[in-house]
Chains A and B, each alone.
Chain A
């Protein structure tokens, strides 16, 4: 199922399929946020933002506004 990172539940994993190339900073890509890589939502900060993710074995947190721009394909359990 196609969705975006902000729709993940805690503990859920997905594969990154695509993102809006104009708004996603290069730095995020360099940290491993690339189409084809896996992403898992580990934690949501209090008040719902930012999100704590495991992307391709990098542990990082991004804000909701960025997460909304990254498309994913859920991995079926």
Chain B
């Protein structure tokens, strides 16, 4: 008995607190957001129940009803209609928000019709007093034919009760709570007769949704003379919805009382300011500005510290370990490579902190509202703002967050342009280049020029996204009905535990995800840079020391000359030299070329690559990556490699190029074809190259 595992699915309208309940049950934390549609895939966690039971808990994306109108909602229906799905639940827990009970119960009544044991969680019970809500739980349990757990996941109340109910799921009724088929008795009566072994509501869903389950598809049903025209179906669905609402209204009239004295509140006052036609935009701009200041200015102190620490770690490793290939690999390849990513923890943490605060508080929906009209001119939706903003963290979750955009054309355009927004992987590249080529001064005593440059790059990213959306909107010939509904959730004080854990989790994922690639690439690069084919590499020392033009060099200079001769004749040097003609017009040398190529796997690899190449190429380990880049001189022109012109050209290249294999993969998944990612890769790369070329030729 004690090793029995109960499969539980958490289902509910968007933003009712499913993920918060999930976090309370499992302790396994993940993103919690106060913007409808944050959870976009299935998430799983485990939980211990009373009496030694265990449960597997599934957190699902929010859905308004079982009539799927978006991809998110499909995830839920496919699970509930497919008994063979490995995650098919033993018990469904429908999570509702006590303040939105009427609407939230619609989905509950639909799920009740599926014959699965269903428990009702009424969440956010901490808000009841404030809102003057009282509930007659026994009455509601009786009418809704279920067990109810009154929960506050914020205050951690009622979770134990919920666990008890889950253990006891066999005693929960599987009866429907209303007879929805009475909207058309003749039609449903006929259906029942033709398929006596199937649940009526499941048949109905198969007919209306075109989803398949247990060998029964829409065609089979329709051949039995049950086909209806789309508009008849829609009419029936509407009737069904009205019928359900009537039932819910009747139940709540008795089971719930609201003391309306307490109603009008804070939210409308705040909305008046935050969605104001002038102040709304000012506040939005100020928030964005604050984010950029923090990313560039405030995080520079911990970053310098990290940079120094890694430089001393490298030299400590070089001095204290026995000399040899392994020590070289460690001190010249791995440590600088990892350092190149660890240094960005402060900036990335700030970024995720702000984004999760915006989502948690409910502000994001106001931005959607504020921006819809403007975005529509560019073929986007107000909802595209969310992917564009969260794209500043990472394009992958951002592209997944486009799923709640109702119009396919608006959604496709959003997916295609999102990679232009400045993601956190570009930050490492931007930061180091800006600090090299932009002088550090202050304007008006507050704005740091380097911070402003960074902000310009972010704006450039948004600008490129908007501009290409405008073009795509003109080119793409997709006819569809535009339609837009966005829920405006109540403002919530962010749960600092949620935000903190989210920042921690995302930062960790970034560091380890990027860390793995960087580690692998820096090891490969180190080998390629430390070994070379043939005569030139093998006898590098002899060739350099005996060369007459080097006769007057000091010992230190001689060492450097040998090292750079060696790297030029290593495998990587030879590869780099062969691509040099392509990138030379942009102002880059072959080392940058290698860094660009290796960063096609992921942009943040750029810095690590240069760190590795320069460590192998120089004799001094104590310098930081930045000072090494600073000191790098072009062997022919004698100019600094990272000068203003080449720096700007590189910045622009990174702003526009599509250098992220994972993003291409997710675009393929979301658009269901290779066509779109291929177009994206081609168009963005060509554009980036051209812009970088023009910039360099112009500035130089």
Contacts and interface: CB of A to CB of B under 8 A. Distances in A.
A46 B69 contact: no
B235 A56 contact: no
B106 interface: yes
A50 B231 contact: no
Contacts, number: 114
Nearest to A37: B245
B483 A59 contact: no
B234 A26 contact: yes
B275 interface: yes
Interface stretch (B150-158, B236-244, B432-440, B500-508): B236-244
B102 A60 contact: no
B238 A61 contact: no
B481 to A, nearest CB: 8
Interface in B217-261: 231, 234-235, 237-238, 241-242, 245
A28 interface: yes
B370 A62 contact: no
A25 to B, nearest CB: 5
Given A26-B237, A42-B268, A57-B100, A31 B485 contact: yes
B103 A52 contact: no
Contact of A25 (B69, B488, B489): B69
Given A26-B69, A27-B69, A57-B103, A47 B237 contact: no
Interface residues of A, number: 31
B484 A62 contact: yes
Interface in A8-35: 21-22, 25-32, 34-35
B63 to A, nearest CB: 10
A46 B280 contact: yes
B370 A46 contact: yes
B96 interface: no
A54 B234 CA distance: 25
A48 B551 CA distance: 78
Contact of B372 (A27, A28, A30, A50): A50
B640 interface: no
Contacts of A1: none
Contacts of A49: 372-373
A43 B65 contact: no
Interface string B480-513: 0011111111100000000000000000000000
Contacts of A50: 369, 372-373, 382, 484, 486
A22 B231 contact: yes
B516 interface: no
B272 A59 contact: no
A68 B278 CA distance: 26
A46 B277 contact: yes
Nearest to B235: A21
B28 interface: no
Contacts of A66: 483-485
A58 to B, nearest CB: 5
A21 B234 CA distance: 8
Contact of A28 (B102, B235, B485): B485
Contacts of B365: 61
B173 interface: no
Contact of B487 (A43, A48, A58): A58
The residue in A42, A49, A50, A56 that gathers the most chain B C-beta atoms within 10 A of its C-beta is: A50
Contacts of A60: 485-488
A27 B487 CA distance: 11
Contacts of A35: 242
Contact of B241 (A34, A46, A47, A57): A34
B271 interface: yes
A17 to B, nearest CB: 14
A56 B102 contact: yes
Given A31-B487, A32-B245, A43 B69 contact: no
A56 B373 contact: no
A42 B269 CA distance: 11
Interface in B355-395: 365, 368-370, 372-374, 382
Interface string B272-308: 1001110011000000000000000000000000000
Contacts of B489: 59
A4 to B, nearest CB: 17
Contact of A31 (B64, B271, B368): B64
Contact of A26 (B67, B373, B482): B67
A54 to B, nearest CB: 9
Given A22-B231, A63-B482, 17 more contacts: A26-B69, A27-B64, A27-B65, A29-B241, A32-B102, A32-B245, A34-B245, A50-B369, A50-B382, A50-B484, A52-B369, A56-B103, A60-B485, A60-B486, A61-B372, A61-B485, A65-B482
Interface of A: 21-22, 25-32, 34-35, 42-43, 45-50, 52, 56-63, 65-66
24 contacts: A25-B483, A25-B485, A27-B67, A27-B69, A27-B406, A31-B103, A32-B103, A34-B242, A34-B245, A42-B271, A43-B369, A45-B372, A45-B373, A46-B275, A46-B277, A49-B372, A50-B372, A50-B373, A50-B484, A58-B100, A59-B487, A60-B487, A61-B369, A66-B484
Please name the 10 residue pairs, one residue from A and one from B, whose CB atoms are nearest each other, closest first: A46-B277, A47-B373, A59-B488, A30-B65, A49-B373, A63-B484, A27-B69, A61-B369, A61-B486, A30-B64
Interface of B: 64-65, 67, 69, 99-100, 102-103, 106, 231, 234-235, 237-238, 241-242, 245, 268, 271-272, 275-277, 280-281, 365, 368-370, 372-374, 382, 406, 482-490
